[in-house]
């Protein structure tokens, strides 16, 4: 991780959901930097604003106040279509707990999707998808459909799809939430390997201290605000300390 290179800054972000008879302040003046090559975990109580934060950074939702700075620049149009779609395609890879694969497409078609949407030439798509299949260990499953795969294999497809265009930022919302312990470890190792290979930055929401212990830093949210920041050292110590902070 390069401490000097801030790839993304979240500046004074606030988000209030309003409806008939209710108003929820999901984020209150949240600010932090994300470094190039960093895995940043986000933990916190249920309803503390973690998913809202990812939605805004991914331009799926708009804040009431505040800005996102990417490589030192604020893109004023990032929350307005069609620019929001362009921003996502160029900068963001999404990984979700529920994998979100297209069930009628094969493994290789799912992975190829972002390249097809980008208009990449067919020959180049083939080459890049074969490379990615090898990296995520799914070459022998390339023609299978998601329903024929285990949870861990499906998440490998989702990682391949999210990373095929090598986005600088990866947003992962509980990426191991549906997986058992061994499969979670396997998926975390794939994620960290890929991040290191492509020098990407990941923001990963998780409830699990074991998963957060893989991070370089952990942000703790409570009631829409950052209440603590933990800098990770060695993994076992991380887990103990994160557990203590999380239970406090
Ligand atoms: N679309 C929405 N409309 C109204 N309220 C919302 C909406 N999305 C989220 N909220 C509210 O905003 C707050 C923050 O929600 P968010 O999903 O960001 O929390 P979270 O930390 O991700 O929670 P969890 O860990 O349970 O997934 C909650 O009180 C939630 O009910």
Chain segment 237-246, per-residue pLDDT in tens: 777 777 777 6
Distances from the Cα of 69 to the Cα of 7, 13, 34, 125, 247, angstroms = 8, 11, 10, 31, 32
Q: Give residue 41 CA to ligand 1 midpoint distance, Å.
A: 18
Instruction: Give the model confidence (pLDDT) of 77-105 as tens digits.
Output: 999 999 999 999 899 999 988 778 999 99
Q: Quick one: pLDDT at residue 248?
A: 58
Q: Spell out a b/e string for 156-171, using b for 16 or more CB atoms within 10 Å of the CB, else e.
A: bbbbbbbbbbebbbbb
Residue nearest ligand 1's atom 7 by CA: 17
Hey, whose CA ends up nearest to atom 23 of ligand 1?
Answer: 47
Q: Between β-strands 65-70 and 73-74, what pairing exists: parallel, antiparallel or unpaired?
A: antiparallel
Ligand 1: centre distance to CA 52 (Å): 6
Cβ(207)–Cβ(196) below 8 Å: no
| Domains with residue ranges and CATH for the chain | 35-62+74-247 (3.40.50.300)
pLDDT score of 32: 97
H/E stretch holding 90 reads helix 83-91
Residue 54 alpha carbon, nearest atom of ligand 1: 18
For ligand 1, atom 25, which residue shows the shortest CA distance?
A: 46
Span from the CA of 199 to the centroid of ligand 1 (angstroms): 31
DSSP H or E stretch at residue 56: helix 50-57
Q: Is the ipTM of this complex over 0.90?
A: yes
Nearest CA to ligand 1 atom 17: 51
Q: Is 195 near ligand 1, meaning CB less than 6 Å away? A: no
If you take atom 30 of ligand 1, which residue's CA is the nearest one? Answer: 47
The CA distance from 103 to 175, in Å, is: 19
Distance of CA 144 from the midpoint of ligand 1 (Å): 35
Judge if the beta carbon of residue 181 lies within 6 A of ligand 1.
Answer: no
pLDDT for the residue numbered 25: 96
Q: Determine whether the shortest distance from the Cβ of 52 to ligand 1 is under 6 A.
A: yes
Q: What is the pLDDT of residue 235?
A: 67
Helix (H, G, I), strand (E, B) or coil at 228: strand
Positions of the chain with pLDDT under 70: 1-3, 235-236, 246-248
């Amino acid at each position: 991780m390069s401490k000097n290179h801030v790839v993304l800054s979240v500046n004074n972000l606030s988000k209030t959901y309003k409806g008939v008879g209710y108003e929820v302040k999901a984020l209150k003046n949240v600010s932090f930097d994300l470094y190039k090559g960093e895995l940043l975990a986000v933990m916190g109580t249920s309803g503390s604003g973690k998913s809202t934060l990812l939605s805004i950074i991914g331009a799926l939702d708009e804040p009431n106040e505040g800005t996102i700075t990417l490589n030192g620049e604020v893109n004023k149009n990032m929350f307005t279509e069609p620019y929001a779609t362009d921003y996502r395609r160029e900068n963001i890879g999404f990984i979700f707990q529920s994998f979100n694969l297209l069930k009628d497409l094969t493994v290789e078609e799912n992975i190829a999707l972002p390249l097809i949407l980008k208009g990449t030439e067919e020959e180049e798509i083939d080459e890049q998808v074969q490379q990615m299949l090898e990296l995520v260990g799914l070459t022998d499953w390339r023609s299978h459909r998601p329903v024929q795969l285990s949870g861990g294999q499906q998440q490998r497809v989702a990682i391949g799809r999210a990373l095929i265009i090598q986005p600088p930022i990866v947003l992962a919302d509980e990426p191991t939430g549906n997986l058992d312990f061994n499969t979670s470890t396997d998926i975390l190792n794939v994620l960290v390997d890929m991040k290191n290979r492509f020098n990407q930055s990941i923001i990963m929401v998780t409830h699990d201290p074991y998963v957060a212990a893989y991070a370089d830093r952990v942000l703790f949210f409570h009631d829409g605000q950052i209440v603590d920041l933990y800098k990770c050292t060695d993994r076992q110590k991380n887990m103990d300390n994160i557990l203590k902070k999380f239970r406090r």
